[in-house]
Chain A
């Protein structure tokens, strides 16, 4: 029984973080059919904002707000630098500009801050543990679960009930049609990037809360997680991204518990191997998105 609780807490907290990461990526992909390679760097930006503001004596929560705000700003910046100028030209061009932008940000961090890990301030709650029905678990896992539930609910509400969300979903289904009906294209795309940056900022804080330090390459793992979760879940479906995130967390956690120490080093290889198998079975991903409109 204790094992079952332990296992579910692990899966839910990891899965919540994964689902949020995947969601941030799919929001962009759904509308533009374009992958944002610089997504991981938004998490890096959030981390470094925390590091840079740590000396200012602000309360932690204010620093967290600044970090999320910076992630949003850089999300919108990604749109202006890497997406808007080449959006209409070719898919490969955008993949490459966003890859280049991601490299740019990473190397800027290397150049202006440091290649070495930097400590990020964390409130005490992130290092405490708590006893849940006989299982000792870090509080940050519960915080992650709570944050992901709240955020997933908020995103679902935004997407279903608000004008902005409905416009975004319309743009994701058929961009040309949505434009003809008066949806302002650039505004919608920029707000999608802002939302993506917001999710990245929050996930960044939760993610860095596990490690405690930030390095220029920190965005790689979340980026990969988001990639794989979205591919499993179905590239264009928001629920798919969430399902994919939790499924990936389930696979990862199961492997963590079952693989021997020698094989654990290869965990990533096993995970991605499984992903390839899933894709063999369902090349479209688990949940199919809205019927395809043309890329714009």
Chain B
């Protein structure tokens, strides 16, 4: 257990350093990037709680982020703005206006509830079928968000969310997410689930009810994603359903996989690395666009480089940078090895 505390301290330290560091530099752009990083961290860690422990890739995660963002939006857009932002909203929701903190929790709960409802049959599937159906689930969630105009303003941009997420809030939520993910990993459910990841048949023979265990992890992941979505919504303040689709999914999965899906350390490392690379590439891309007059806009360059990086990482280190041991564990082992 000792190394788990060490891991928690180190990872929380990373969050504090990024938060404080970006403030000390005093550049507004860095503040924005750091906040974005914290929000991505929440989402990536949410995905890690499911994917890392169960070993199943889930594409539906961003869909639950969308549910959280829209739930929070419907609950927090000021009453006098609702007529404009959501003209077809149901009458009983028109008078609701709660604080962003409450609505963030509500976002998590709604996402978790939907996940609990739809995911139970899906958790019986393994391997490829599970991945494919999670992909289908993402499409279903996207279709619903794109067309339920009463609640989401359809494919058009929804605006008017109060801007309440700043770096501090985002960092606090990210810190909570790290702690929860570490606790879950070491909990009974987490341990049994990891056993089923290594050997499904053996774990089932030991009495692990695998679909049920996966179901619990999936709900937790969806809940964290919902909270992350609400957090993001109050940061960006206006968004459309296409924000919660393949591009974002690709980014989140890249972060988790490059870092190492099996460990929380990997989730944190991957998020930090990919965010830095992404922002750097985007900067280069827009600099190139600004100079190359008439050569047309460069789009997609960032994604191409990220995709190549992902393929290379998978070939060289299929488990990511931190494939199975948390940072605390690695340090403890290094010390004990030196002593002997």
Residues of A at under 8 Å CB distance from B? 29, 33-35, 81-82, 85-86, 89-93, 95-97, 99-101, 103-104, 106-108, 110-111, 115, 220, 224, 227-228, 230-231, 235, 265-266, 268-269, 272-273, 275-277, 279-280, 283, 285
Determine which of B57, B135, B261, B318 lies in contact with A227 in the assembled complex, contact meaning CB atoms within 8 Å.
B135
User: Could you tell me if A92 and B304 are in contact, using CB atoms closer than 8 angstroms?
Assistant: no
Q: How far is the CB of B114 from chain A (nearest CB, A)?
A: 12
Q: B125 contacts A279, CB within 8 Å?
A: yes
Q: Is B132 an interface residue (CB 8 A)?
A: yes
Judge if B176 is at the interface, Cβ distance under 8 Å: no
Q: Cβ of B298 and Cβ of A111 under 8 Å apart?
A: yes
Contact of A107 among B143, B147, B300 (CB under 8 A): B300
Q: Could you say which of A86, A89, A90, A107 contacts B307, with CB atoms under 8 Å apart?
A: A107
Whether the Cβ atoms of B132 and A227 lie closer than 8 Å is: yes
| B20 interface residue (CB < 8 Å to A) | no
In the complex where A85-B315, A111-B304, A231-B129 touch, is A100 in contact with B55 (Cβ < 8 A)? no
Q: Which residue of B lies closest to A216 (CB)?
A: B300
Most A Cβ at <10 Å: residue of B124, B137, B143, B144: B143
Say whether A276 contacts B143, CB under 8 Å: no
Q: Is the CB of B128 within 8 A of A265?
A: no
Asked whether B136 lies within 8 Å of A115 as measured between CB atoms, the reply is no
Interface set of B (CB-CB < 8 Å, partner A): 55, 57, 118, 121-122, 124-125, 127-129, 131-133, 135-137, 139-140, 143-144, 147, 246, 250, 253-254, 257, 261, 298-301, 303-304, 306-308, 310-311, 314-315, 318-319
Task: Decide: A268 near B57, CB < 8 A? Known: A108-B300, A227-B136.
Answer: no
Q: Could you tell me if B246 and A220 are in contact, using CB atoms closer than 8 angstroms?
A: yes
Q: Which of A34, A97, A280 contacts B314 (CB 8 A)?
A: A97
Chain B residues near A268 (CB-CB < 8 A): 139-140, 143
How distant is A165 from chain B, measured CB to nearest CB, in Å?
Answer: 23
- Asked if residues B253 and A96 are in contact (CB atoms below 8 Å), the reply is yes
B144: which A residues are within 8 A, CB to CB? 266, 269
Bound together, the chains give a CA A289 to CA B129 distance in angstroms of 14
Contacts A92-B55, A95-B131, A97-B311 given: A224-B136 contact, CB under 8 Å? yes
Q: List 28 A-B contacts (CB under 8 A).
A: A33-B127, A81-B311, A85-B314, A92-B55, A95-B128, A95-B131, A96-B57, A96-B314, A97-B314, A100-B307, A103-B306, A103-B307, A104-B303, A104-B311, A107-B299, A107-B307, A220-B246, A228-B132, A231-B129, A266-B143, A266-B147, A268-B139, A268-B140, A268-B143, A269-B140, A275-B136, A276-B122, A283-B129
